Chains A and B, each alone.
Chain A
């Protein structure tokens, strides 16, 4: 009897502790264990460098992007319950979302503004990484993945643009895909592959839908995982080199393979798998360093970014309604027909030269971005905003950035009917 009572009494506690292996951590050992034993937390290192937590250093942009993606996935899945990728029904479904589906307006608004936000924030994240020189060794390939993630974000947003099947969607995609058609040799085929037809129609809607809800999110999720994995394996976020220089550190000779550097730190220790991690971040024992425990420091920071992201998106969703124009009509192009804002820079360039503006220049940009870490091999100036050592690289990047922003601003605000110059005031 008493056994049963004891069992029953202990039941809630037992269930709880079987799910959460650790109590709320009170000391360093428990803090480590919490990070290590929780599925959702073990992506975090047990300890992070203080520099990682400096808001002014990262601005939380990577996390912003991630949380926007999470918001997009969740709202997107809910929207999928109502959406039908058919030219006959898509627009009516939009009207239903706006009119009679519970929380339909808010869901659609959140999805829309998060999508625009993600394009912007991912790009800002890319700028942050460049201006702090964080793409340098050993993070070169993670930078390349990041560039691919940016392109995927653009494409994901672009494919979603068509789905409401209103005039805005139809003509933005018509313009956007015709830019793809300017590619030499394969241009027209590429366009046909995207649209499944010579014009934007039912086939295009279906293809964009599948890309938007299945293919691209899957690829994006995979690449995000690799992106994060590599951050851990590359020793956390980049930071200024001086923080690493400690008297005890034995730097291996240049050119020598970076093998078990950590052994040199404290020779009387043995190492397991962790010793294989590259880079100078392997921490064992209670080495005096600049790192703090992830629990609660990193987690609070992440929670903070999440709360800010969600607040901003919710406020936007409450205040601004996602646009919905007339039903798509292939016979009545608006004048001017404009691509989504992030492609307006391209469209503006296309108005000067179809090939160079639409394919040549953007192709060169992407190529330059991707090979940047393999050209810029100097390891100086890493982990510092606008460091003096990187004046040249930052200036070049800033110039390209401003020029393209300028094109986007011109394309968005200064182009009227027939793509002639107008002033917005």
Chain B
């Protein structure tokens, strides 16, 4: 017992020793002692000698009240020589802060004077980091939790090392210069300006909201990106949007690292509010919204009557549609090819699509840009006039030209823009599906397209013979399996159950019970099982798609299933024609009537369609 007590007491004593040692022998004291020793050696005049003679180590701090919340910057406790020009050549932390004309420093007689005096500005206003910390790990922000680590000089413990080499450099400091120097043309914030230009030229503003700049709603709000995200996260999210969020629909732009850096610096400068604006200005920004917001940066163009097509061409070019779309040689690699748009869509379709992209394709990924109706009109006119037929060569060339971008080189539906399309392009290698549909129907799909999806009607480009040749090419190259005779199926030609409130209610009950696992209770194709299913379950609220099907096809798909997909033949699970009739009536009740989708004026087709 006594031995144990002695040991315990010794442990307590030893730890107290360690605690006291940590408390009284700080690194910063060593730095300060070294500085005083050096400064005494360097002192040439009496005044200089007097200045260091009676100094002893202590915590130095600047309390800054003029820039946002109170800042307590104790950085000069270690960086004690930061304002002593004699220490220009010393190593950190005893190095003096450089004097530079770019920072506004000037000569006053023989002395250099700072424009941004540390006593007035502190350190963290420009450098970020945690002014209260006295240990490098905390002060510089290597602490993984500290939200605003030093800009552009340290690598954080948890930074993604893949991007290490990009994240250093003085240029990152511009993000904080822009907190006060808000003028776009200020020379010291050229990179911020460049990032801002990219934000518009890459059409980021179509999806992302930044208060006072843009009001996109598809992507996350970036108003406070500078305080929310660290540089490594921003860099990664721009370089590879799906690295952090596997379900991100943000396109991968494959930007050069200089562009990414400019955008990171621009985003890092967006802190919700900056130090250059007044409360009143903030209030006005809050109130402003909508088109006028964008128009401060993307200036509206007056379209001269009779010159719509030329104006449209310029607009399509100036507004960077090819950041996503393909148009001739320019390919953004994200959205459909517009090269033959005039042969596929008419100007009315384009106009409605511009004004509300989801009015024509309920699951479209395209942002609604807030341009003027006249601008949209001109752009529609221009695109609708693109009627140059491609030179139709061999079926293989045609496939490469027209189909490959979505359906992929291997015909597996994994073309380069496939992940941005909803529904995904059909996997043409799935023999189960391809061989369960009649040859004529497949030709029809090629020539007339699929309603409400990105599959266009190629009828104006490929005649029946050419379409068949392409289909043959697909069947022999990708599907490979020889075609079989289709089994005769007994399917009613039209719905035997008349639509009524009762029938719809029965249909809904059955839908929730049988179908909602995949198609979702809202029938938007987003049921709990849908994530594991390829191809994805249909969005049955896509009126353009649903209305393009006759009852016969709906019955066939439900009763006999869709081969090559997860849709089972419900006739095996005991559904009668009347049950299916109820289901079909329920599905139709979710969608606008066919007459409306046939008219192209519809603005809000499938208005309830899934949110993405």
Residues in chain A within 8 A of chain B (CB atoms): 88, 92, 95-96, 98-100, 102-103, 106, 166-167, 300-301, 303-304, 307-308, 310-311, 314-315, 318, 324-327, 332
Q: Closest Cβ of chain A: how far from B134's Cβ, in Å?
A: 5
* Residues on B with beta carbons closer than 8 Å to the beta carbon of A324: 145
Query: B12 to A304, Cβ gap below 8 A?
Result: no
- List the B side residues contacting A318 at CB < 8 Å: 15, 18-19
A-B contact pairs, 10 of them (CB 8 A): A99-B74, A99-B133, A167-B145, A301-B1, A304-B1, A304-B4, A314-B19, A318-B15, A318-B19, A325-B145
A284 to B5, CA, bound (A): 33
Closest to A306 in B: B8
**Cα separation A100 to B132 with both chains bound (whole Å):** 8
Which B residues touch A325, using CB under 8 A? 145
Residues on B with C-beta less than 8 A from A102 are 23
Shortest Cβ distance from A304 into B: residue: B5
Complex CA–CA separation, A311 to B12 (angstroms): 5
B183: interface (CB < 8 Å) = no
- The answer for the CA separation of A325 and B5 in the assembled complex, in Å, is 38
The answer on a CB contact under 8 Å between B4 and A332 is no
The residue of chain B having its C-beta at the shortest distance from the C-beta of A92 within the complex is B132
- B117-161 interface mask toward A, CB cutoff 8 Å, 1 = contact, 0 = none? 000000000000010111100110000011100000000000000
Residue of B nearest to A166 (CB): B145
B4's closest neighbor in chain A, by CB? A304
B-side interface size class: 20 to 34
CB distance from B257 to the nearest CB of A (A): 28
Known: A92-B72, A106-B23, A167-B145. 11 other contacts (CB 8 A): A95-B130, A98-B138, A99-B139, A166-B145, A300-B5, A304-B1, A304-B5, A307-B5, A307-B9, A314-B15, A315-B15
Bound-state CA distance A304–B74 (Å) is: 43
B105 to chain A, nearest CB (A): 30
Q: Does B348 sit at the interface, judged by CB under 8 A?
A: no
Q: Which residues of chain A come closer than 8 Å to B19, judged between CB atoms?
A: 103, 106, 314, 318
Bound CA–CA A96/B134 (angstroms) = 9
In the complex with contacts A300-B5, A324-B145, A314-B132 CB distance below 8 A: no
Q: Which residues of A contact B145 (CB under 8 A)?
A: 166-167, 324-326
From residue B295, how far is it (CB to closest CB) to chain A in Å? 29
Highest count of chain A CB atoms <10 Å: which of B5, B130, B132 = B132
**Which residue, of A95, A167, A325, A326, has the highest number of chain B Cβ atoms within 10 A?**
A95
B59 at the interface (CB under 8 A from A): yes
Quick one: closest A residue to B19, CB to CB? A106
Note all chain B residues with C-beta closer than 8 A to A304. 1, 4-5, 8
Give the chain A neighbours of B72 by CB distance below 8 A. 92
Q: Chain A: interface secondary structure?
A: helix
Residues of A within 8 A of B12 (CB): 307, 310-311, 314
Assess whether B533 is interfacial by the CB under 8 Å rule: no
Cβ–Cβ contact B133 & A103, under 8 A: no
**Chain B positions near chain A (C-beta within 8 angstroms):** 1, 4-5, 8-9, 11-12, 15-16, 18-19, 22-23, 59, 69, 72, 74, 130, 132-135, 138-139, 145-147, 228
| B11 and A315 form a contact (CB under 8 A) | yes
Please give me the 3 A-B residue pairs with the lowest Cβ-Cβ distance, nearest first: A307-B8, A95-B132, A314-B15
CB neighbours of A314 from chain B (8 A)? 11-12, 15-16, 19
Q: How far is the CA of A314 from the CA of B134 in the complex (A)?
A: 23
State in angstroms the CA–CA spacing of A99 and B19 once bound together: 14
B15 touches A332 (CB 8 A): no
Q: How far apart are the CA atoms of A310 and B7 in the complex, in Å?
A: 12
Bound-state CA distance A252–B22 (Å) is: 65
B133 near A303: Cβ-Cβ < 8 Å: no
Closest B residue, CB atoms, query A305: B8
Q: Are A308 and B8 in contact (CB under 8 A)?
A: yes
Option from B15, B23, B139, B147 in Cβ contact (under 8 Å) with A103: B23
User: Do B5 and A311 touch (CB < 8 A)?
Assistant: no
Minimum Cβ distance to chain A for residue B532 (Å): 14
How distant is the Cα of A311 from the Cα of B11 in the complex, in angstroms? 6
Q: Are A98 and B15 in contact (CB under 8 A)?
A: no
Residue among B9, B19, B69, B72 with the most chain A CB within 10 A? Answer: B19
Complexed CA–CA distance, A300 and B1 (Å): 8
List, in ascending order, chain A residues with CB within 8 A of B133's CB: 95, 98-99
* B74 engages A100 (CB within 8 Å): yes
Chain A nearest CB, measured from B498 CB (Å): 44
- Contact, CB under 8 Å: B147 / A327: yes
Expressed in whole angstroms, the minimum distance between the Cβ of B78 and any Cβ of chain A is: 12
Please give, as numbers and ranges, the residues of chain A lying within 8 Å of B147 by CB-CB distance: 326-327
Q: How far is the CB of A74 from chain B (nearest CB, A)?
A: 14
Q: In whole Å, how far is B77's beta carbon from the nearest beta carbon of chain A?
A: 8
- Alpha-carbon distance between A315 and B14 when the two chains are bound, in angstroms: 10
Expressed in whole angstroms, the minimum distance between the Cβ of A15 and any Cβ of chain B is: 27
Contacts of B4 in A (CB 8 A): 304
B427 to chain A: closest CB distance in Å?
Answer: 29
Q: Which residues of A contact B1 (CB under 8 A)?
A: 300-301, 304
A104 to chain B, nearest CB (A): 9
Taking the nearest CB of chain A, how far is it from the CB of B21, in angstroms?
Answer: 11
Q: How far is the CA of A308 from the CA of B1 in the complex (A)?
A: 12
B23 touches A100 (CB 8 A): no
Q: A92-B132, A99-B138, A100-B74 are in contact. Are A311 and B59 (CB under 8 A)?
A: no
B144 to chain A, nearest CB (A): 9
Complex interface: chain B residues within 8 A of A103 (CB): 19, 23
* CB-nearest residue of chain B to A312: B11
Residue of A nearest to B61 (CB): A100
Contact call B132/A96, Cβ cutoff below 8 A? yes
Contacts of A88 in B (CB 8 A): 69
Once A100-B132, A307-B12 are accepted as A-B contacts, the answer to whether A326 and B5 lie under 8 Å apart by CB is: no
Q: A304-B1, A304-B4, A332-B228 are in contact. Are A99 and B18 (CB under 8 A)?
A: no
How far, in angstroms, from A166 to B146 measured CA to CA in the complex?
A: 10
Please indicate the chain A residues that have their CB under 8 angstroms from the CB of B11 in the complex: 311, 314-315
Q: With a CB–CB cut-off of 8 A, which chain A residues contact B9?
A: 307
Complex Cα spacing A391 to B142, Å:
54
The interface centre, meaning the residue of B12, B22, B130, B146 with most chain A CB atoms within 10 A of its CB, is B12
Q: How far is the CB of A50 from chain B (nearest CB, A)?
A: 15
Query: A314 CA to B18 CA in the complex, in Å?
Result: 10
Given A307-B9, A314-B11, A326-B145: A99 touches B23 (CB 8 Å cut-off): no
A166 surroundings in chain B (CB, below 8 A): 145
Residue of B nearest to A106 (CB): B19
The answer to whether residues A100 and B15 also contact, given A95-B133, A326-B145, A327-B147 and a CB cut-off of 8 A, is: no
Distance from B428 Cβ to chain A, minimum over Cβ atoms (Å)? 35
Cβ distance A6 to chain B, nearest Cβ, rounded Å = 39
Shortest distance in angstroms between A121's beta carbon and chain B's nearest beta carbon?
17
- Considering the chains assembled together, what is the distance between the CA atoms of A106 and B15 in angstroms? 11
CB neighbours of A106 from chain B (8 A): 19, 22-23
A99 touching B15 in the complex, CB below 8 Å, given contacts A308-B8, A326-B147, A327-B147: no
Roughly how many angstroms separate A88 CA and B72 CA in the complex, as a whole number? 13
**For the complex, what is the distance from the CA of A327 to the CA of B147, rounded to whole Å?**
8
Residues in chain A near residue B139, CB distance under 8 A: 99
A327, B8: Cα distance in complex, Å = 38
Distance between Cα atoms of A326 and B230 in the complex (Å): 12
Measured between beta carbons, the chain B residues less than 8 angstroms from A167 are 145
B134 contact from A99, A300, A301, A303, Cβ within 8 A: A99
Complex CA distance for A310 and B15, rounded to whole angstroms: 10
| Cβ–Cβ < 8 Å partners of B74 in chain A | 99-100
Which residues of chain B are near A96, meaning CB under 8 Å? 132
A31 → chain B closest CB, angstroms: 17
Query: In the docked arrangement, what's the CA distance between A96 and B73, Å?
Result: 11
- Kindly state the separation between the CA atoms of A310 and B16 in the bound complex, as whole angstroms: 11
Per the bound structure, the CA–CA distance linking A99 and B138 in Å amounts to 8
